[in-house]
Amino acid sequence: MSVAGDVSVRGTSLGVNAPGGIGIASNGTVSIDNAQVTSAALYAGIDAINLFIENGSVVDISATEDRCNAAFISARGGATGGNIRISSSNVVAKSVFPGLFAGDNLTISGASVQSTSTAAAALWARGNLIISGNAHVTLDGKDPSGCKGNFTVYAAEIDAKNTNVENIPAILDSPIIGNDFDLTYAVAVDSEGTTIDLIEHDGAEQAKGFLHLYKNIHFVTSEKSATYSFPFTKVVKKGGDIAPKPQEFELEIFNVGVGQIEDYADVTVTANVTTNGAGEYEGLLTIQGPKSQVRDITREGFCVREKNTGVANWTYSDAVYQIFCHEYEIATDGQSATQFSYDIFPVQLVETDNGAFYEKTQDTPVASMTFENVYTEKAAPAANDKPATDNKPAASTKPAANNKPTAGNIPQTGDSSALAIEFAVLLMTAGALTVAIAAKKMRKGHDVR
């Protein structure tokens, strides 16, 4: 299959069998995007100026002729190129000479790559060789694999073997491991078949320089973890009648530098403090995770506030702070180390014509964030402070129905003088009545006369 120009294989399956020639030949760029491609040929599975394999593609290429490559990628005819880029895909390449040959740079990121040579290096680049993104690369050849430029490894797993009967190493030069990455596993097999744990034997730092000395070397590099911590003060006040009860408070971050905080599943943010009564409590907001991700969260500034969990009788702080981080290099024992500093500013939400934004309320940074909470529970009234609602007059205090005064019975008042006066009145009344009767009799007697 020969094309005068670029070749794009996207979202499909393609099978090429060229036992007498080249599987896919192009004087341009071959792009394989989310596709399945098999190309078995005599001289080259793919022969082009550039080769890009990406987005979950599955590619199996091979060549059987002596001094030929499964993928021969090189500039020609005055055109620049020679680059192989494999990302997030699965590639198998097998040939007599290097399975993957790049006339310039070869980059593998987040991919699974198996490259084999039956007579030479498993893979080779005349420019730089870069492996990253937790790529898994398996190399099998009779000469050391590598490049003429810089061989740099970030996060990756590389298993390289040399099948030559001679004592020849699997890789040409020890790779440069990126500054933010560590060698976490390194097991070698020497010419006598002895297995050596290089990290256990020599330590991780020294082992980095020994990776190119062995016939078989299997090593893993991982991104370093970074931990950034920022102080805060929790102030608890009593606002009611009852002392503040024990309570856990938590902070959260938002408006991070790149993307949203929810995008960082590998990053842990902790900012908790448990209080017990009124007073001040010191805490730390800690952000921990892969160094590049922590850097992305913090490098353009981020905001901090208190979570309002709605616990009864508590008021929550509405304070918001913005933190800016700065990285700088310091020299220690002839080596440089990355350090960081930070500035904390109180901020408030400001409405503008372009939307709402948090802006500093002062130009001078503060040493620590402060969040204030008030406990407002009131004490219940005591039982003896309540008005009595059941103290009705006793039944015995009501006048009895049969205790009414009877006719002719003068109620006893206990006043003897009043009783004497009443008795005198009765006597006077009786005397007056006697006089009246006597006078009447006298009148009657006079009439008889």
Q: Is 4 helix (H, G, I), strand (E, B) or coil?
A: coil
Last residue in a domain, options 223, 256, 280: 223
Residue type at 384?
N
209 and 232 inside one domain: no
- pLDDT recorded at residue 424: 46
Query: How many CB atoms sit inside 10 A of residue 26's CB?
Result: 21
174 and 310 inside one domain: no
205 and 278 inside one domain: no
- pLDDT recorded at residue 393: 54
Contact status, residue 333 vs residue 268, Cβ threshold 8 Å: no
- pLDDT recorded at residue 330: 81
Q: How many angstroms separate the CA atoms of 304 and 248, rounded?
A: 17
Last residue in a domain, options 223, 258, 277: 223
Run means of pLDDT, 10 residues per run, the chain, 449 residues:
84 97 96 98 98 98 98 91 98 98 98 98 98 98 98 98 94 94 96 93 94 97 95 97 96 94 95 97 97 92 96 97 90 72 97 93 97 94 62 52 48 46 46 42 39
Q: Do the domain assignments include residue 398? A: no
Contact status, residue 263 vs residue 292, Cβ threshold 8 Å: no
- Number of structural domains (the chain) is 2
Q: Do the domain assignments include residue 416? A: no
Contact status, residue 153 vs residue 178, Cβ threshold 8 Å: yes
Q: How many angstroms separate the CA atoms of 247 and 242, rounded?
A: 14
Q: Do the domain assignments include residue 414? A: no
- pLDDT recorded at residue 333: 66
Q: Is 189 helix (H, G, I), strand (E, B) or coil?
A: strand
308 and 162 inside one domain: no
Cβ-based burial of 261 (10 A; exposed 0-12, middle 13-18, buried ≥19): middle
The residues facing 130 across adjacent strands are 107, 152
Residue type at 10?
R
Q: Is 59 helix (H, G, I), strand (E, B) or coil?
A: strand
146 and 162 inside one domain: yes
171 and 265 inside one domain: no
64 and 110 inside one domain: yes
97 and 236 inside one domain: no
C-alpha radius of gyration, the chain, whole number: 50
178 and 235 inside one domain: no
Q: How many angstroms separate the CA atoms of 10 and 288, rounded?
A: 39
Contact status, residue 358 vs residue 350, Cβ threshold 8 Å: yes
Type and span of the H or E element at 447? helix 416-448
294 and 190 inside one domain: no
Query: How many CB atoms sit inside 10 A of residue 291's CB?
Result: 17
The residues facing 286 across adjacent strands are 229, 270
| Domain boundaries, position 301 | 225-375
Q: Do the domain assignments include residue 434? A: no
Last residue in a domain, options 184, 202, 223: 223
Q: Do the domain assignments include residue 273? A: yes
Residue type at 26?
S
Residue 137 dihedral angles phi and psi, to the nearest 5°: -120, 125
HSE (CB half, 13 Å, CA atoms) of 205? Answer: 2
Q: How many angstroms separate the CA atoms of 41 and 62, rounded?
A: 6
Nearest to 307 by CA among 347, 253, 376, 236: 253
- 33-50 core/surface letters (b: 16 or more CB in 10 A; e: else): bebbbbbbbbbbbbbbbb
Nearest to 170 by CA among 134, 130, 141: 141
Distances in Å between the Cα of 74 and the Cα atoms of 5, 28, 124, 273 are: 14, 10, 12, 61
> How many whole angstroms from its chain centre is CA 341?
21
Q: Do the domain assignments include residue 186? A: yes
Q: What is the CATH number of the domain that holds 368?
A: 2.60.40.3050
Q: Do the domain assignments include residue 271? A: yes
232 and 218 inside one domain: no
Q: Do the domain assignments include residue 267? A: yes
Residue 444 dihedral angles phi and psi, to the nearest 5°: -65, -40
> Sign of the CA dihedral 140, 144, 150, 151?
positive
209 and 233 inside one domain: no
